Amino acid sequence: MSDKIFIPPASHERCVWLYVGTLIEGFSTKPRKDVHVVYDANSIRYLGSAQNPPPRELLNPGQDQPDAELNEYTLLPGLIEAHAHLFLAGGELDFAKRNAYLKQTPQELLSASRRRLEKLLRIGIIAIRDAGDKHGVGLALSKLYESEDKPLMPYVDSPGAAIHHKGRYGGFMAEPIENHQALKACVECRVRAGADRIKLIATDIIDFKAGRVINEPQMTTQEITELVSAAKCFGKQTFAHASGDDGIECVLDAGVDSVEHGFFIRAEQLAKMRDRQIAWVPTMAPVQKQIDHAEYFGWSEKIISNLQKILEQHAASLVKAHAMGVQIIAGSDAGSCGVAHGIGLLDELELMARAGLSAIAVINAATGSSSKRLGYKEKFGQIKPGYRSRFIITQHSPLAGILNLRKHKYVVFDGAVYDSDGNIDAKGL
């Protein structure tokens, strides 16, 4: 059966009326069946059951049938990548080449990042929460998105440079607290630069040889609390790089909006996250890539065993978190070594499903959960009236397997329709 169909473009004057067999809203635990969907170039205008066709004032003169009847198709929100470093080329594994790449000028890094954007949209990614860079690339892309002459690109927001302590992990994407006389001044500097939110690097990274985070947290609970308070004064959310139970405890007690990575999190900390409405972005893909390319990196059997144990523990914590009601949000840490932009998010969703989350829970984590918790400036990631007309239509239901998100689909973005054949050009990602 061919999965090629014709969906007319919507405009600000002309709505499109679809009838779809399956609708995934991005927030419900069950799909809807046989639904009328009406949208224009700006937003979704109407949803209704098979027995409730749309009101005539939304339709074109004389229209009494849908523009397309898609009984065998699934419509779901476009995907949100909630943790990516757009200034990095994630698909590159060679450390020498990665280091050479970073020696480019900020303008060269920006140009490379801009070339990725349309590819990401065609994969089905409609929004990206950049996770920090000190070169101004993410901020420039956020401003580009808000410009009148923007290219075809997903929504982007960025914290600009992350905040860390001088001499500690994160110098490639962050600027140190020590550059400022006070913590609030550090946050204010980011806000004046145009930051959409504030990124904190509260801990170091995992030592794969030891199989744990060996260094003490970068920031104290008091420091993080002051940074979070300052961010709130400016109306900004905070998200914190944190792994290791000591560091995780610091960011939870300080009240950040989301924990990024969160390796070695404890069950009682998951309960604290749930109770305090702190979201978790578990970023499994970078560790999996270390396993996938262990021979290339020269990892010993012992290190590979460490990596596998870390990922197994993380997967178990993810399933436990979901059962407990923790807000789980999908982000791949794209830009990390081996984690290509776009492809990395699909990898992340597959890892979440492999860990034991249902397909619809995984989709919600990459759509409505992100939309509801992370305070984006626009309404997307859910299929409901008033939300942007940015969604995926596919004959290959992701409810039958998350791998189906890699197959042929149509991406509707502000009413325009893009035919995505599933063959992803990974060059430059």
Could you tell me the mean pLDDT of each successive run of 10 residues in the chain, 429 residues long?
82 96 98 98 97 94 95 98 97 91 95 96 97 97 95 97 97 97 97 98 96 96 98 98 97 98 98 98 98 95 97 98 98 97 98 98 98 98 98 97 97 96 82
What is the predicted pLDDT for the residue at 180? 97
What is the predicted pLDDT for the residue at 423? 81
Task: Pull the structure tokens for residue 184.
Answer: 């609030």
Tell me whether residue 391 is in a domain. yes
Same domain, 274 and 416: no
What stretch of H or E contains 257? none
Indicate the residue among 351, 373, 395 that finishes a domain. 373
Distances (CA, A) of 208 to 9, 172, 297, 308: 50, 20, 12, 10
Q: How far is CA 291 from the centre of its chain?
A: 22
Same domain, 150 and 232: yes
Tell me whether residue 11 is in a domain. no
Half-sphere exposure of 237 (CA within 13 A, CB side): 18
Q: Are the beta carbons of 119 and 425 closer than 8 angstroms?
A: yes
Tell me whether residue 119 is in a domain. yes
Same domain, 21 and 110: no
Residue 36's domain comprises 16-78+382-420
Tell me whether residue 175 is in a domain. yes
Same domain, 195 and 332: yes
Phi-psi group of 170: left, alpha or beta (phi > 0 → left; psi -120 to 50 → alpha; rest → beta): left
Same domain, 230 and 356: yes
Task: Pull the structure tokens for residue 220.
Answer: 């104290």
Question: Taking each helix axis from N to C terminus, what angle separates 106-123 and 343-355, rounded to the nearest 10 degrees?
Answer: 60
Same domain, 405 and 306: no
Same domain, 318 and 408: no
Same domain, 120 and 162: yes
User: What is the number of domains present in the chain?
Assistant: 2
Tell me whether residue 53 is in a domain. yes
pLDDT tens column, 1-31: 456 899 999 999 999 999 999 999 999 999 9
Tell me whether residue 425 is in a domain. no
Same domain, 268 and 353: yes
Tell me whether residue 188 is in a domain. yes
Indicate the residue among 373, 394, 411 that finishes a domain. 373
Task: Pull the structure tokens for residue 338.
Answer: 């081996």
Q: Are the beta carbons of 135 and 152 closer than 8 angstroms?
A: no
DSSP readout, 314-336? HHHHHHHHHHHT--B-----BTB
Tell me whether residue 429 is in a domain. no
Mapped onto helix, strand or coil, the DSSP state of residue 115 is: helix
Half-sphere exposure of 2 (CA within 13 A, CB side): 3
What is the predicted pLDDT for the residue at 232? 98
- The CATH number assigned to the domain holding 42 equals 2.30.40.10
Same domain, 252 and 223: yes
Q: Nearest 5 degrees, angle CA 22-CA 23-CA 28?
A: 125
Gap between the Cα atoms of 25 and 147, Å rounded: 29
Same domain, 280 and 408: no
What is the predicted pLDDT for the residue at 2? 54
